[in-house]
Amino acid sequence: MTENKVSSGAIAFLFPGQGSQAVGMGKDLAEKYPIARQTFEEADEALGYTLSQLCFEGREEQLRLTEVTQPAILTASIAALRVLEDRMPRPAYVAGHSLGEYSAHVAAGTLSFADAVRTVRYRGKYMQEAVPLGVGAMAAILGMDVEKVTAVCDDAAQGEVCDPANINSPQQIVISGHTSAVERAAKLASQRGAKRAQLLTVSAPFHCSLMQPAQDRLEADLNALTFHKPVFPVVSNVDAKLISDFDPARDALVRQVTGSVKWDQSMRLLMASGVQTFVEVGPGKVLCGLMRQIDRTRRCANVGDEASLQKALEQLATAA
């Protein structure tokens, strides 16, 4: 590629998790850039079915199936990353939201793309099968800090599971657990001053102890894979710590199935490490939206299609 590479101080690449999927994701990048097309072809070969067709023109309900969603988002993210890599300097750090941590490890060379895409397919399957439909639920609590949300969960549990699952920003925390406990917690949060408490349409109660059967199955899969030392630090969102070696990387991916996603803390760690510019690589703009809630002074661009790629390159060139 002959395009000028953009320079803009310390940069971190962020990779989205489940919920950012949309029919059509990756299609225009695959049509314009051979490297993106090749990425989808690699995924199709690794999985043994045409994931690319589901991403480009499948039905939304198919794409929402967890064992399809996870490899689909990872593939669209890595396709966007490979297009971007020729046009920007190397990031200083990478991070991913839940599933996105696998994309981050592919970016850092910790895992091969083929291994990652196969693993997250089974990760999705195991998570879906861990809890019977209807037994678990998740809810978003808006406008209430993590200490108060934790207290709400403790008071609502009544012997059942109810935990903070995604600490996304100071204004947005998602809770997870048994359906009745989550419903009690949502009601209690509203009574105690939350701006909003809303049950989410999800297929399983992710990131809580009910996911232990999935974690056990996934651990066996991860132990069978070859991990490499990351070429740049990856944020482990279960600990909000930087990882620079392969054993801690594997361990963090195991523990994040039942552990909460400490996204707010992870972003603050990167800011404290000198990151000024964040680039969300993959479908959607969820992580840029969360960054606005965490710290509006930081630059955040997203790259998921041709239009957003060009816009991001312009934004970052102006900021350089």
Residue type, 186: A
CB 305 within 8 A of CB 28: yes
- CA dist 298 → 8, 123, 137 (Å): 12, 33, 33
Q: Which alpha helices (DSSP H) does the chain contain, by range?
A: 27-32, 34-47, 51-57, 60-63, 66-85, 100-107, 113-130, 146-157, 179-191, 212-223, 246-255, 263-272, 286-294, 306-319
Residue pair 291/26 in contact by the 8 Å Cβ criterion: no
Q: Which of 178, 207, 236, 266 is catalytic?
A: 207
Report the length, in residues, of the chain.
Answer: 320
Marked catalytic residue, from 20, 52, 98, 308:
98
Number of neighbouring beta carbons within 10 Å of residue 193: 9
| Catalytic site includes residue 203 | no
Give bridge partners of residue 243 from the DSSP assignment.
234
Place of tokens 């101080």: 9
Amino acid at 170: P
Tell me, yes or no, if 98 is annotated catalytic: yes
Residues 6+ apart with CB under 8 A from 55: 23, 24, 25, 26, 27, 40, 63, 72, 75, 76
Catalytic residue positions?
98, 207
